[in-house]
Amino acid sequence: MDRQETLNNILKDSTIRGVIFDFDGVIVDLFVDWLSLKQELKSKFFFNGEIKLNDILAEVNKKLGPEGLKDAYNLVEIYELKYPNKAIVNKNILGFFNDCYIKKIKLGIFSSNMKKTIDYFLDKLRIKNLFNIVVAKEDIKAHKPDPEGLKLIIDKWKIDKDNIIFIGNNENDKICGERAGIKTFII
C-alpha distance from residue 170 to each of 56, 65, 101 (Å): 20, 30, 25
- Segment 68-93 mean pLDDT: 94
* AA identity, residue 42: K
Is 3-30+85-186 a domain of CATH 3.40.120.10?
no
Contacts of 141 (CB under 8 A, 6+ apart): 148
- Segment 4-33 mean pLDDT: 90
- Segment 66-94 mean pLDDT: 94
pLDDT-derived band at 61, boundaries 50, 70, 90: very high
Q: What value does the mean pLDDT of the chain take? A: 93
- Segment 98-123 mean pLDDT: 95
Say what the pLDDT of residue 13 is: 79
d(CA 157, CA 31): 32
- 54: closest CA among 141, 122, 115? 141
Higher model confidence: residue 6 or residue 121?
A: 121
- For strand 164-168 and strand 183-186, is the pairing parallel, antiparallel, or unpaired? parallel
C-alpha distance from residue 85 to each of 33, 52, 120, 121 (Å): 14, 26, 12, 10
pLDDT-derived band at 112, boundaries 50, 70, 90: very high
Say what the pLDDT of residue 133 is: 97
Contacts of 173 (CB under 8 A, 6+ apart): 22, 144, 145, 166, 184, 186
- What's the distance, Cα to Cα, between the start and end of the chain in Å? 9
* AA identity, residue 68: G
What count of other Cβ atoms lies within 10 Å of the Cβ of residue 14?
A: 8
pLDDT-derived band at 44, boundaries 50, 70, 90: very high
pLDDT-derived band at 1, boundaries 50, 70, 90: low
In 61-178, where do the E strands start and end?
A: 88-89, 106-110, 133-135, 164-168
- Percentage of the chain with pLDDT > 70? 99
- Domain residue limits, the chain: 3-30+85-186, 34-82
d(CA 179, CA 77): 28
pLDDT-derived band at 46, boundaries 50, 70, 90: confident
Could you give the 3-state DSSP secondary structure of residue 170? coil
Say what the pLDDT of residue 179 is: 97
